[in-house]
Structure 1
Amino acid sequence: MSHSPIRKDKTCLNCRHVVEQKYCPNCGQENTDSRKTFHHLFVHFFEDLTHYENAFWKTIRNLLFKPATLTKEYLSGKRLSYLAPVRLYIFISFITFLMIALFPSHVTENLQKSEKDITTNLIKQDKKGIEAFKKNTHFELRTMKEVDSIQKYGKPSEKYTDFEYWVYEKVVHVTENNTKAEIIEKFIESFVHNIPKILFIIMPFFAFFLWIFHDKKKWYYFDHGIFTLHYFSFLLLIFLILFIIQKITDLLGSGFGFIADITNFVGILWMSYYFYPAHHRFYGESRIVSFIKSVFLFFINSFFIVFLLTFYVFYIFINLH
C-alpha cells in the first residue's frame, strides 16, 4: 500500500469530488501527492502488479498447489482476493525474463571452449588427418555462384524450386557470416527475447482446443481463456523456480548439483501431472473422462507447439545476420 502523504487539498485530482478521507468516494483514486520520487514510482509499480501482499501470496500459493482453484474462484466472482489472471501472467513473465536477462546461459561459452579444444587437438595431427576429419565431419555447402550456375545451365532435375533456392540462399548467407558458436548465441538470444510472443500465440489455440472438447452451452471461450492463463502462469512460475534454484546451486558449487537435479525432477513431474487435476476439478467431469481428454489435449497441443516452434526456429535461422 502507498505510504505517500495525503494532500491537504480535499479536492480529488481526478474527478474534482470532495475527499474527506484517503480515497475519493466518487472515483476511488487515492488523494496523495501526484509528484513522486523514483522510489515511490518503483514501489507503486510492484504494488500494482502484486495487488498488495496478501492477495499476491494467496494467489501464488493456490496457483502452485491447488490446481484450478484460482480459475473457479475468479469465474465465481471472487476476484478482489486474488491477482487478476492477465496481471498474474504479466507479472510472472516480467520476473522470469528479467531473471533470464540477468543470468544468461553459458551455452555459448561452452561451445567456444569446445571449438578451441577441438582446434588444438587437430593442430597436433598431420595435414592429411585434418583434411580427413574435415571431410568426414562437415557438410560442404555449394556457393551461391555454383547454385546460380546450376539454375542456369543444369538439368531440370538438378535445379532448385523458387522456395528451395530462397532457403538455400539464406542458409549460405548465415553460415558464411557466422561461426557455429555465433549462430547458437544469436539464436538463443532471439529465442529468449521472443518467448512471450510465442506463448501469446499458443494460448488462444490452447483455449480453442479446450473449447472444442467441452460443452459449448455450459462453457464459453472466455472460461477456457481464464483456465489457460492460469495454467500458463503456473508453467512459467515452475520454470522460474527451477531456474533460480539452478543458478543458486551453480554458485554454491558442484557439490550441491544434486539439489538442482532433485528439484528439476520434482518440478517437471508436477508440471506434467498438473493439467489432469486442474482439468478434472475445473470442468467437473469424471476422472476417467477427464483423464482421456487430458491425454488427447496433451498430444494435440504438443503437436501444435512442436510445429509452431519448428516454424519459429526456421524463421529465426533465416533471419540471422
Structure 2
Amino acid sequence: MEDKKPTLITKGRYELKFRGTKCLNCGHLLDVSDKYCPNCSQANSTKKLILRDFWDEFFSSIINYDSKLLKTLYALLVKPGTITKDYIKGKRIAYTNPFRFLLSLAFLYFLMATYDNSLSNLDSLGLEDKIEKTGPLSYGFKTADSTDTKKQTDEVLGQLDSIRNLERIPGIQNLDSLQNLINQGVRAEAKKDSFMLVNPRKYFENLQNKNAGGLGARMEFFFTFLQKDSIKTFEEAKEKYGANESWRNKVAFNGSKSSLKAIAQPGTYLNNTIAKLPLVIFFFLPIFTVFLRVAYIRKKYTYTDHLIFSFHNQSLLFILLIISLIIDTIFNMASAGLFLLIFGFYLYKAMRRFYGQGRIKTILKYIFLNTMFTLLALFVIIVLFTGSVFTY
C-alpha cells in the first residue's frame, strides 16, 4: 500500500516509473509502491535531478505549509479549543507545530509593532546633555542647592502651620524640632556628597570596608563618576577608585553604565527591550501553565497538554493583535481594545470546549486564571525592563 506522506507532487521524479527497490540514501529495501523510504524518509526516486525538479519541490513545500497554516488559522478562529483536542489526540500532520507557530507569530507581531513607531524619537530629547549638565547624584534631574533646599523647607513648614495638635506626632513636639530634623538631614546629605567629591577613592574604600555599602550606594557612586570622570571600563574604576573584584562592584558598575545609556537613549532602550519579549513568552507560558494544571487538576491531561492549550490561545491573541495593527494602519484608528475583548470571548469558548466543564465552573476558573496571568505578566515585564537596564 502506498505510503501517504504529505506531498502535492505526482509528476516528475515522483512518477511510478522512477521508483526503485532500494533506498539510495540508507540502502533500505523498498517496494515500488513506496513513495518514501520508511527508514529515512528520503523520496524513492532514481531519476536524475533537473532544475525543474527543484522548482516543483520548492513550490510544493510552500503550498503544503500554506495549507497547514490556513487550516490552523481556521481552527483557531472558528473552532477555539478544538485544535488543541485534535492535536493531543494525534491529529497533528494537518496543523502547524504550536511551539514554532507561536514563536513565528510573536516575532511577526513585535516586528510590526516596533516598525516605524515613535519610540525612537525619544532619543532626540537630549537627555544625554541634561545628564552631563546636572550635578552628581541628580539622576537626570537638577540637584537642589542650598537656596532650593531652604525654599522647600519653608514651604513644608508653612503647610505644617495649618496642622493642629502637632505635638501628638511621636518624636515631634513643635515646629522647631521638625526644623532641626530637616536641617540635620540636609547637612548630612551635603556632607556625604562633599566627601564623595573631594576624596572619591577614600569614600569608595569606606563603602567596601566590611561590605558596609550596599548595591544602591555603590551604584550611586559609579553613576556620579561615570559622568564626572568619564571612566569607561571597570578596570579604570579599579585603578582610580580602588574597587575590588567583588560581584557588588561589578553589578553596580555595569548597572550604572547601562542606566546612563538607557537614559541617554530611551527610545533605543525600549525598542531593544520589546524585541526580547517573544523569547520571554516561552519562559512565561510554562510558568503560567502550572496554574492551568492546578485549576484543572482533576482532568486527565498532562502538563504538556495544558502547555499546548496555552500556546494555541497565545497564538490566537497574536493573530488578533496582528489584525488589529493592520486595521489601525489602514484606517488610522485604535482597535486593540476591541480585539482584546474578542480574545476574551474566544478564550472562554476554548476553555469550555477543551476542558468540557459547565459555565459556572468555567467562569470561576476563567477569572482565576486571567488574574494569575495578569499578575505574572506584570512581574515578568518588571523583571524584563529592570534586567534590561543592567544589560543594555
Q: Indicate whether the TM-score tops 0.5.
A: yes
Q: CA deviation at 1:15?
A: 3.6
Please give the alpha-carbon distance, in whole angstroms, between the structure 1 residues aligned to 2:57 and 2:322: 25
Query: Superposition pairs for residues 18-37 of structure 1, below 5 Å?
Result: 18=30, 20=32, 23-24=35-36, 26-27=38-39, 28-31=41-44
Aligned to 2:267: 184
Q: Deviations over 1:53-75 (max 9, x none)?
A: 43321210121232211111222
Query: Superposition pairs for residues 231-270 of structure 1, below 5 Å?
Result: 231-246=313-328, 248-249=329-330, 256-258=331-333, 261=334, 263-270=335-342
Q: 280, 284, 303: which is aligned to 1:202? A: 284
Count of residue pairs the alignment pairs up: 284
Residue identity matched to 1:293? K
What percentage of aligned pairs have identical amino acids? Answer: 23
Sort the Cα spacing of 1:42 and 1:214 in 2 relative to 1 into closer, same or farther, 3 A: same
1:161 aligns with 2:164: no
Q: CA deviation at 1:275?
A: 2.2
Query: Superposition pairs for residues 80-229 of structure 1, below 5 Å?
Result: 80-93=93-106, 95-96=108-109, 99=112, 103-109=115-121, 111-112=122-123, 115=125, 138=141, 140=143, 146=197, 150-152=203-205, 160-162=213-215, 165=218, 166=248, 169-176=253-260, 178=261, 180=263, 182-192=265-275, 194-216=276-298, 218-229=300-311
In structure 2, the residue corresponding to 1:6 is in which secondary structure?
Answer: helix
Residue identity matched to 2:102? Y
Structure 1, gaps ≥5 residues long: 120-129, 250-255
CA contact (8 A) 1:67 1:274 kept: yes
Residue identity matched to 2:350? A
In structure 1, the residue corresponding to 2:357 is in which secondary structure?
Answer: coil
CA contact (8 A) 2:107 2:278 kept: no
Aligned to 2:355: 283
Aligned to 2:81: 68
Q: Which moved more, 1:306-315 or 1:212-221?
A: 212-221
Sort the Cα spacing of 1:305 and 1:245 in 2 relative to 1 into closer, same or farther, 3 A: same
Sort the Cα spacing of 1:162 and 1:179 in 2 relative to 1 into closer, same or farther, 3 A: closer
CA RMSD of superposed structures (Å)? 4.0
Please give the alpha-carbon distance, in whole angstroms, between the structure 1 residues aligned to 2:51 and 2:108: 24
TM-score (norm 1): 0.71
Q: 271, 275, 282: which is aligned to 2:343? A: 271
Please give the alpha-carbon distance, in whole angstroms, between the structure 1 residues aligned to 2:118 and 2:57: 34
Aligned to 2:182: none
In structure 1, the residue corresponding to 2:13 is in which secondary structure?
Answer: coil
In structure 1, the residue corresponding to 2:265 is in which secondary structure?
Answer: helix
Structure 2, gaps ≥5 residues long: 1-6, 145-192, 219-247
CA contact (8 A) 2:289 2:306 kept: yes
